[in-house]
Each structure stands twice: as C-alpha cells, then as structure tokens.
Amino acid sequence: MNISISPIYDMGHKASCFLLCLFINMILIIGYNKVIIKYDQAMGRCVDLKDINILGIETSCDETSASVVRNGREVLSNVISSQISLHQKYGGVVPEIASRKHVELVMPVINQALEEASMDIDGIDVIGVTYGPGLVGALLVGLSAGKGMAFALNKPLVGVHHIEGHIAANYIEHKELEPPFVCLVASGGHSHIVFIEDYDKFDIMGQTRDDAAGEAFDKIARAIGLGYPGGPLIDKAAAKGNSKAIEFPRVRFDGGSLDFSFSGLKTAVLNYLNNLEQKGEKYNIEDISASFQQAVVDVLVDNTLRAAKIRGVRNIALAGGVASNSCLRSLLKERASKEGLCVYYPKPVLCTDNAAMIACAAYFQYMKGNISDLNLNAVPGLRLGER
C-alpha cells in the first residue's frame, strides 16, 4: 500500500518535530546543571555559561595566597599572607624559611579564602595552582596542597605558569581587555615583553639577559640603605628626588633586540656610591633613587612601545610587582597616548604575587581545555608557553 503524505502535512509534521526537539533541548540545556551553551567569539569556541568557581593557590616565592574567582574575572576572595617581615632582616627571600612558612600557612589561607567567598569546597569547580617558575620548595607546598585537594575531591587541576598569572591580573581589573596585546611583565624574578596572541598563546619578544628589573630595584635599595623590598621604597624616595641629577647608563642592544640588561646599571650605581664614600662625601638618596628609577623605566618603556609597534597592537598592559611603579605607569601612559595606544595595569595588590591572578589564568586555560595531570611536578625554571 502506498501512503502519500501531502506537502502541507509534511511541513506541519517537520515543524512540530522541530519545536518538540527544541523544547526538549531547552529543558536539557537549562535544567541540567544550569548549563547554557553559547559561542564565545573571544575564545573562538563554545563555552558553557554555568558559573565556574576556581580556587587559586600561589606559593612560588614569599607570599602564601589563596583566592576564589568566578568566571575568570570576578574575585570573591583574595587572601595574601606576606612573609616580607620574616625575610626583611636578611635583605631578601631565604628559600628554606619561605617553604616552611608556606607549609604552616597554606591550609589556613585556603580555608580563609573559602570562608571570605562564603563558599564551601563543594562550590569549587576547578583548582588552579602555580607550578613554576619560582623557588622549588615553595612551589611544591602549594602544588601538593592543590593536587591533594583535586584528587580527594575529584576536581580538575590546572597548573598555572606564574607569569601567565601576572598577565591575567589585567583581565580581572579590565573586564573589556582581550588578546591580542603586548604586556611588559616586570617583577623580582622576570623582565619580559610578551605578545599575548590568545588567552593561552604567548610569544616572548624580549627579556632580561641578567638581572630582572625588580631585582635591580631591590639590590640598589639595599646598597643605599633603604631596605627590602626595594621597589616601593625607591619609588617613594624618587618622588622627592631629581631624576636628572645623575646620568646612569641605559643599555640597548643592536639588531632590533628588545632584550634588557640591568647589571651594568647596577654596577654604575654601586661605583657612584663607592666613589663618593672614598671621597668621604655624603650622597643624596632621593636623587640616586630618582636617577636610577628613570634609567630603568626609560628602557622598559622604549622597548615596550617598540614591541607594540612591531605587532601592530593598540593595547599595552603592565604586570608584575614593578608594574606598581608610579614613574613607569605615568611615562608609559604619556608616551603611549601620543601614539594613540591604550595602557592597562592592575591595581597594586594585583600586581604583586596573589592567587586571584592564578585563578584567573587557570580559568582561561580550563576554558581552552588545558587540564593538568595529577602527577604534575614543580618546575622552577618553567618557560612561558611551556605546558
């Protein structure tokens, strides 16, 4: 028997099937775990819009920090326990003391972060933890805590590169900021110019060949008797000094290199101090601070602007402890605005080491599907972009 279906009945049948399927899908999509799928242009892929709460853990140097961040950009808590006072009398971080203090503080700090976020551990979807670069003993404490929790609670673990975290601090502060952009990462351990092509794609365009910028600040501060950490103290003293009082060298490399070198500058300052001491003359701390700071900032700004020009981007970001420097912020802003470029930087508490930036970086890695294995190890010399 032949059954013929009229075109009108066919269309009506298809339409009702389509509506029924759509309805069932809607129930499945909205009802199941409150997940809504949406195509995210910035990420270039489908994302589920269920809130994702990430517990970030940071112990790479002398700050024990834990934070809860929702959807990568909303900080629910950011607890930072600084060990600065413990290391101050040694003029720098003592690795063994740092590790022992992290062991003591890591769980209380995590608990406080959950409490301040009004969340129990079940509300956490992902655990993000710094696994390098940094002091190996210090890294191991946070990483072990993160891995232990991920294993016991059956939550995904995302290992985060510390510098990636510093860069990500800008996403927290500036909700509209998206790759591509150029970022100057200047901290106690690093001075890098990075092209951020995508949330998980980094190209190092230049880096220090010897001392990091923050390290130079710390060493000069110690030499002129200001104490540790030197960056903020030099910044403050420089505000009362004359940046043209002493002509310190600015090192630039041939062949278009965007690399930095601060050890020559450091030696020049130390020689200047020795000369005055030998002659029995007093030196002016404010003028030395201002002249030294200007020499560091001039090259940081020059190279960063050149990098932005090379990549043809309009946005420049600052990250890392030195990004708090007032001279760096104002000079980069001033010179960038003349070239029609925008400058972004996080507030000071997000510039220095903190776990919110780690949770934020973990979010973007997680959204790209980058989940770590539970046998992840601490990598003290981890390179940016390596996984």
Residue 300 CB neighbours (<10 A):
25
Strands (E) in the chain, as ranges, are 37-40, 45-48, 53-58, 63-70, 74-82, 126-132, 157-161, 181-186, 191-198, 201-207, 315-319, 342-344
3-state secondary structure of 270: helix
Residue 248 CB neighbours (<10 A):
21
Q: Which is nearer to ligand KG4, 205 or 358 (CB)?
A: 358
Total site size for ligand KG4, rule CB under 6 A: 19
Q: Which does 230 bind (CB under 5 to 8 A by kind): Zn ion, ligand KG4, none?
A: ligand KG4
- Compose the 124-163 pattern: x for residues touching ligand KG4 by CB under 6 A, - for all others: ----------------------------------------
3-state secondary structure of 209: coil
- C-alpha angle with apex 199: 196 to 205, nearest 5 degrees? 20
Restricting to residues 164-223, which ones interact with ligand KG4 according to CB under 6 A? Answer: 187-189, 214, 217-218
Q: Which is nearer to ligand KG4, 124 or 322 (CB)?
A: 322
d(CA 173, CA 113): 19
Supply the minimum distance, in Å, between the C-beta of residue 261 and ligand KG4.
17
d(CA 135, CA 197): 28
Any bridge partners for residue 344, and if so which? 317
Among 99, 208, 324, 365, binds ligand KG4 (CB under 6 A): 324
Among 61, 110, 158, 308, binds ligand KG4 (CB under 6 A): 61
Establish if 372 lies at the interface with ligand KG4 (CB under 6 A): no
Among 132, 142, 231, 241, binds ligand KG4 (CB under 6 A): 231
Supply the minimum distance, in Å, between the C-beta of residue 145 and ligand KG4.
19
In the chain, what is the straight-line distance between the N-terminal and C-terminal CA atoms, in Å?
65
Q: Which residue has the tokens 């949330």?
A: 199
Q: Which does 218 bind (CB under 5 to 8 A by kind): Zn ion, ligand KG4, none?
A: ligand KG4
3-state secondary structure of 6: coil
Q: Which does 217 bind (CB under 5 to 8 A by kind): Zn ion, ligand KG4, none?
A: ligand KG4
Stretch of 114-122, 150-158, 269-277, 320-328 contacting ligand KG4, by CB under 6 A: 320-328
Backbone dihedral region of 118: left (phi > 0), alpha (psi from -120 to 50 degrees) or beta?
Answer: left
Q: Which is nearer to Zn ion, 248 or 364 (CB)?
A: 364
d(CA 64, CA 101): 8
Establish if 67 lies at the interface with ligand KG4 (CB under 6 A): no
Binding site for Zn ion (CB under 5 A): 187, 353
Q: Which is nearer to ligand KG4, 132 or 229 (CB)?
A: 229
Supply the minimum distance, in Å, between the C-beta of residue 249 and ligand KG4.
19
CA proximity to 272, closest of 251, 253, 291: 291
Supply the minimum distance, in Å, between the C-beta of residue 186 and Zn ion.
10
CB 358 within 8 A of CB 109: no
Supply the minimum distance, in Å, between the C-beta of residue 117 and ligand KG4.
23
Residue 86 CB neighbours (<10 A):
15
Supply the minimum distance, in Å, between the C-beta of residue 93 and Zn ion.
12
CA proximity to 187, closest of 171, 158, 167: 167
Q: Which is nearer to ligand KG4, 52 or 194 (CB)?
A: 194
Establish if 72 lies at the interface with ligand KG4 (CB under 6 A): no
Which stretches of the chain bind ligand KG4, using CB under 6 A? 61, 187-189, 214, 217-218, 229-232, 235, 320-322, 324-325, 352-353
